[in-house]
Structure 1
Amino acid sequence: MRAQRASSWCAVLAAAMLLPALRPCAAQEPLVVLDAERLRPGPLSVWHSGGRLEGPFAVEGETPAVELVDGRKAVVFSGKQFLRSAAPAPPEISGGRAFSVAAWVQPARVTGRQVIASWGARRDDRIEFGCGRGRGNALTAGRTSAGFARTPPAGQWHHLAFTYRDGHLCIYIDGEPDSVHKLKLTPETGFPLVVAAVRDAGDARFAGGFRGALAALRIWDRELCHREIRNDMGLFGAFGPQPADGAVCDERRIALRWHDGLDRTARCRVFFGTDRSAVEAMNARALLAELPASHDHRGEVAAGTLTPGLTYAWRVEQLAADGSRLDAGKVWTFRVSEGPASAPLPRTNVAGVPVDTRRLSWKPGRYARSQTVYFGTDREAVNAGSAVLAAGLPPSQTDIALPAPLEHGRTYYWRVAQDNGELPPAAGQLWTFRTEDMPVPGHLTFFVVSDTHYGLDWRVEPAVQQLIDDMNFLPGTALPPGAGGGIVRTPRGVIHLGDITNDGKADQWQAFVRDFGLKGEARLAYPVYELFGNHDGGAAGAVRKGIIERNRARASLTAVSSNGLHYAWEWEGIRFINVNISPGPTTRPYDPQHSSDFLRDQLARLRDRNQPVILLQHFGFDKRESLRWWPEEWRKALSRTIAGFNVAAIFHGHDHETDIYAWNGIDVFDAPHVRDADVPERPVRHGYFVVQIADGRMAVAERRLDRQWGMACLRTFNWTKGTEK
């Protein structure tokens, strides 16, 4: 299904732009200033602009109101009115020239197309700053668009800023950089600026009406720097600390770095130490240094050699030339790492570790003088230091033999503690792993996920990584009653049913490869078998090319199509057939590249017609979404192709509604998918199916991102007599 990209709300910043004649003024003064603080509460008929460009913005459509919204006076728009400047946008903000726009906005919701401001007449010569759903949620200019990396949520005040110069658009949210876009903006002048909508010249209709509150809008005919953007939103303290606030530093020798928050800062006093209260009070004993501001307003001072394991606080006080305080500065903290052991093997929080594993390995910490390894199945004993495997190991030792063979289906704990000599010791992180379950012929477990949409929004990757972490350590967990109870056993692999990416771009595909790997070597601890979907690009795209390349490295496959895309394999005598987007011949734009031919070939190669088959595809049979994406004649052809064969189940994605249903008497499983990643005021939802086949039954249970169970079912699985297991 069409997953829309980061719906950014409020690009409010919009472009304000306006008006008439330039008057002499300071170079730093904005061209346009719309400030709701100057307005009287109640209905608004005109909003006068200050700054170097003066003039009225008249209301058209319904009358907006000036109200107090969460402590700010603002103009509240319902999407049915807009403001139009009396004078045209000036040439200073057109034709590729530098400009900056800043605004305070609170969108009511993120939905549809909502324009905060625009200028230019025709679509190809106009800039729109807005909020809503879609890829150009921050800016649209003809065929060019830019989106927020992190979409600001609705129902909250946000300061948005856009700066443009020499083909680079920088977006800031609440005083912090959000994203940089390389694009060319050449808006046309001679037409009015429109606030809260977009309108073509000579057309009385308007579109994209903004719903929310606008407290201020300012425009400059130059590029603002980061400090100036922060100043516009009322922030004047030093910023950009290095080490970052809350960071853990590996090095002991630290230089403190920052940016001055005001261009009139003459001197800075840096307070620093392990006594946070002294730093907060700016006590003289916490004064590390006083130094003049540099010409570029970047500060740096050496903090010296610090002690591992301690937390340090610091702040930067800014002083004027006369010595008076300009800003006291925020208190930042960082911690110096004790240099613990790292890089454990087996990896921590993974299941399926082979029982023939004979050694533990790790990377010793940088300060180690000796090491002690704790190991066992008793978590508390390992934590407490009573389960000693070996003590007094030299600092260079990186592995150790296990005392006995590992047992099937057991959870083990271990850690490496370090004596760091004169420095504080490092207790070491508690690591854990679970071994593979005892193999049972005819028993099969696998996981199924779909529609990860890498690239949809910045929140997608953390959500998918969280999902992977849950998969990695799920074995041993109790299944829900609806799936027949018992525990989740070690999966043979993970099947991904397509729409891996949101736009089929190479960087999105590489993010998938980074997280899912191929054979359990990446964040995901199990082999993965992926399909392509409608969001994954065409035949010449990065995703399909990547699948072809990966199929060459999948040694477990029983067959690969002649074009290298479609493939099949067997688990416990069940033939899994991947036809990718759908069974079909060829078409545009969602070309299955003759997957139906591959399906027929694979069915013809079964041991007999009773051998169980599980069909994997992206498009499904649900009436909500899937049917309109692939032709009815293809579905009829599929029905004829599989008639008489033991197709035990079909798994698909695309629909974005987890479901379990039947098609032509076949059990169909519509796999979990990403949801609400582009709706910032809602939590991201995702999940996967846990599938277990044993003793003539197939259990399918939805495992959600919140680590709760969702829908579940228990079906009869037709292990026809004579089928190998």
Structure 2
Amino acid sequence: MTSDSHYEAIERVERNDRNLITIERMNTLPGEAWPDKLGGGLIGKPRGVLALGDLIDDGDKNGQTDIEWKHFADHFGLDGTDGALKFPVFEGWGNHDGPPEKYIKQRVSVQTEIKRRNQLRLENKLISRVSPNGLHYSWDWNDVHFVQANLYPADKQNAKVRYSLPWHDPQDALTFVKEDLAATVGDSGRPVVIMAHCGFDTDWWVVEDWSEFYRAVKPYNVITYLHGHTGTGVRKWKSEGEEKFLDVVNTGQTEKGFFVVEVSADRLRLAYQVKRDPALLKDVQWEWRYQFEKRISRQAAE
């Protein structure tokens, strides 16, 4: 998983080259060893790569958005056969990626592209469900259920915020999360992974809305919440007054690195593969940070 690739068209275009170096590392990492702290063993071939928003830097700017989107599509592709990345990608949009398509002032809409790509994913059986608006989606890998909530899991921006609408409209993401989990997971106790661009440290996705999301997912066995947008790391979070924590993983900018995540029948383990010097364009050295593991089981959350 990675986030905040922020592809550029005119300024800071070296970021695109650094992103490509990261993608090439993703391609070659399978077969190398997990850190000893996490039990060692070989890293398997990934089922896919999660790209958690801010795919491009300028979501609605003439002469830039179309170029930046092409960079993203060329590098990440869609299904592992049509880009530099050799695995399927499952992207969501972030606050840099532009407003809903009806507000776009130039010719390329990232959200329109995500809708189009979601239909292709459905046709290719990479995902199983898509929201009525075509944006949010979910799928299963073995027994684990994954939900892509895009910007953040709320239905609309909190009335107290009024920040940069319509760019920051989550467009019924929470309703999709609720309906999807009820329909596909129910009381099975299956492990669930939920992802979005923003985490519980974003001031325009506010505390009371965090709590609404927590209440919505509390009945389910959510083994981790994945996001980008802010500083990289692994932390625990729960709504005030609750007992059970969510394990939250914040992945950093693509040009710096990516998380490797493995879910087995009884364990979740992950670690951040990061460049020692992200500015380098050759002779890049990599190391592990933020190593984390926990036991999991098929049981409903309490």
Regarding TM over 0.5, the answer is yes
Q: Which residue of 2 aligns with 1:617?
A: 196
On the 8 A contact 1:671/1:689 being kept in 2, the answer is yes
1:519 paired with 2:79, answer: yes
The alpha carbon displacement at 1:483 in A equals: 2.3
On the 8 A contact 1:449/1:673 being kept in 2, the answer is yes
The alpha carbon displacement at 1:703 in A equals: 0.6
Q: Which residue of 1 aligns with 2:62?
A: none
Using a 3 Å threshold, how does the CA distance of structure 1 residues 472 and 695 change in structure 2: closer, same or farther? Answer: same
Aligned with 1:669 (options 231, 246, 249): 249
Alignment of 1:110-509 (within 5 A): 448-455=1-8, 457-504=12-59, 505-509=65-69
Q: Which residue of 1 aligns with 2:282?
A: none
The alpha carbon displacement at 1:558 in A equals: 1.3
Q: Which residue of 1 aligns with 2:112?
A: 545
On the 8 A contact 2:265/2:297 being kept in 1, the answer is no
Q: Which residue of 1 aligns with 2:241?
A: none
1:594 paired with 2:172, answer: yes
User: Which amino acid in structure 2 is aligned with residue 573 of structure 1?
Assistant: D
Q: Secondary structure at the match of 1:601?
A: helix
The alpha carbon displacement at 1:602 in A equals: 0.6
For residues 528 and 663 of structure 1, what CA distance do their matches in structure 2 show?
27
For residues 557 and 670 of structure 1, what CA distance do their matches in structure 2 show?
23
For residues 633 and 709 of structure 1, what CA distance do their matches in structure 2 show?
35
User: Which amino acid in structure 2 is aligned with residue 528 of structure 1?
Assistant: V
The alpha carbon displacement at 1:644 in A equals: 1.4
The alpha carbon displacement at 1:695 in A equals: 4.4
Aligned with 2:94 (options 522, 529, 533): 533
Higher relative contact order (CA 8 A, sep 6+): 2
For residues 718 and 539 of structure 1, what CA distance do their matches in structure 2 show?
39
For residues 606 and 573 of structure 1, what CA distance do their matches in structure 2 show?
11
* 1:145-204, Cα deviation, whole Å (9 max, x unpaired): xxxxxxxxxxxxxxxxxxxxxxxxxxxxxxxxxxxxxxxxxxxxxxxxxxxxxxxxxxxx
On the 8 A contact 2:145/2:185 being kept in 1, the answer is no
Aligned with 1:558 (options 124, 128, 132): 128
RMSD, aligned CA:
1.5
Q: Which residue of 2 aligns with 1:204?
A: none
Q: Which residue of 1 aligns with 2:295?
A: 716
For residues 508 and 476 of structure 1, what CA distance do their matches in structure 2 show?
32
For residues 235 and 18 of structure 2, what CA distance do their matches in structure 1 show?
27
Q: Which residue of 1 aligns with 2:183?
A: 605
* 1:456-476, Cα deviation, whole Å (9 max, x unpaired): 611111111101111111111
For residues 709 and 636 of structure 1, what CA distance do their matches in structure 2 show?
33
For residues 719 and 488 of structure 1, what CA distance do their matches in structure 2 show?
23
* 1:550-579, Cα deviation, whole Å (9 max, x unpaired): 001002211000110000000011110011
The alpha carbon displacement at 1:658 in A equals: 1.1
Q: Which residue of 1 aligns with 2:145?
A: 575
For residues 599 and 563 of structure 1, what CA distance do their matches in structure 2 show?
13
* 1:485-510, Cα deviation, whole Å (9 max, x unpaired): 11111100000000101111222111
User: Which amino acid in structure 1 is aligned with residue 264 of structure 2?
Assistant: A
* 1:417-449, Cα deviation, whole Å (9 max, x unpaired): xxxxxxxxxxxxxxxxxxxxxxxxxxxxxxx01
Q: Secondary structure at the match of 2:194?
A: strand
On the 8 A contact 2:221/2:298 being kept in 1, the answer is no
TM-score (ref. length: structure 2)? 0.82
For residues 44 and 219 of structure 2, what CA distance do their matches in structure 1 show?
32
Q: Secondary structure at the match of 2:127?
A: coil
User: Which amino acid in structure 2 is aligned with residue 672 of structure 1?
Assistant: G
Q: Which residue of 1 aligns with 2:286?
A: 707
Q: Give the structure with the larger helix fraction.
A: 2
Where structure 1 has 5 or more consecutive residues not aligned to the other structure, the ranges are 1-447, 675-684
User: Which amino acid in structure 1 is aligned with residue 26 of structure 2?
Assistant: M
For residues 265 and 128 of structure 2, what CA distance do their matches in structure 1 show?
25
For residues 645 and 552 of structure 1, what CA distance do their matches in structure 2 show?
27
For residues 611 and 711 of structure 1, what CA distance do their matches in structure 2 show?
26
The alpha carbon displacement at 1:713 in A equals: 1.1
Where structure 2 has 5 or more consecutive residues not aligned to the other structure, the ranges are 60-64, 158-164, 239-244, 276-284
Q: Secondary structure at the match of 1:640?
A: helix
For residues 38 and 228 of structure 2, what CA distance do their matches in structure 1 show?
21
The alpha carbon displacement at 1:480 in A equals: 1.0
For residues 133 and 209 of structure 2, what CA distance do their matches in structure 1 show?
20
For residues 607 and 718 of structure 1, what CA distance do their matches in structure 2 show?
14
For residues 607 and 688 of structure 1, what CA distance do their matches in structure 2 show?
28
Q: Which residue of 1 aligns with 2:242?
A: none
User: Which amino acid in structure 1 is aligned with residue 258 of structure 2?
Assistant: Y
* 1:10-32, Cα deviation, whole Å (9 max, x unpaired): xxxxxxxxxxxxxxxxxxxxxxx
For residues 701 and 632 of structure 1, what CA distance do their matches in structure 2 show?
28
Q: Secondary structure at the match of 1:454?
A: coil
Q: Which residue of 2 aligns with 1:53?
A: none
Using a 3 Å threshold, how does the CA distance of structure 1 residues 458 and 562 change in structure 2: closer, same or farther? Answer: same
For residues 75 and 46 of structure 2, what CA distance do their matches in structure 1 show?
18
Q: Percent identity?
A: 34
Higher-Rg structure is 1
On the 8 A contact 1:612/1:719 being kept in 2, the answer is yes
* 1:121-153, Cα deviation, whole Å (9 max, x unpaired): xxxxxxxxxxxxxxxxxxxxxxxxxxxxxxxxx
Q: Which residue of 2 aligns with 1:49?
A: none
Q: Which residue of 2 aligns with 1:652?
A: 227
Q: Secondary structure at the match of 1:461?
A: helix
User: Which amino acid in structure 1 is aligned with residue 246 of structure 2?
Assistant: I
Q: Secondary structure at the match of 2:184?
A: coil
The alpha carbon displacement at 1:533 in A equals: 0.4
User: Which amino acid in structure 1 is aligned with residue 153 of structure 2?
Assistant: P
For residues 691 and 533 of structure 1, what CA distance do their matches in structure 2 show?
21
For residues 260 and 70 of structure 2, what CA distance do their matches in structure 1 show?
26
On the 8 A contact 2:55/2:94 being kept in 1, the answer is yes
Q: Secondary structure at the match of 2:120?
A: coil
For residues 70 and 192 of structure 2, what CA distance do their matches in structure 1 show?
31
Alignment of 1:688-703 (within 5 A): 688-703=258-273
Number of equivalenced pairs: 259
The alpha carbon displacement at 1:482 in A equals: 2.7
For residues 501 and 593 of structure 1, what CA distance do their matches in structure 2 show?
20
User: Which amino acid in structure 2 is aligned with residue 493 of structure 1?
Assistant: G
The alpha carbon displacement at 1:606 in A equals: 2.6
For residues 597 and 537 of structure 1, what CA distance do their matches in structure 2 show?
22
Q: Secondary structure at the match of 2:75?
A: helix
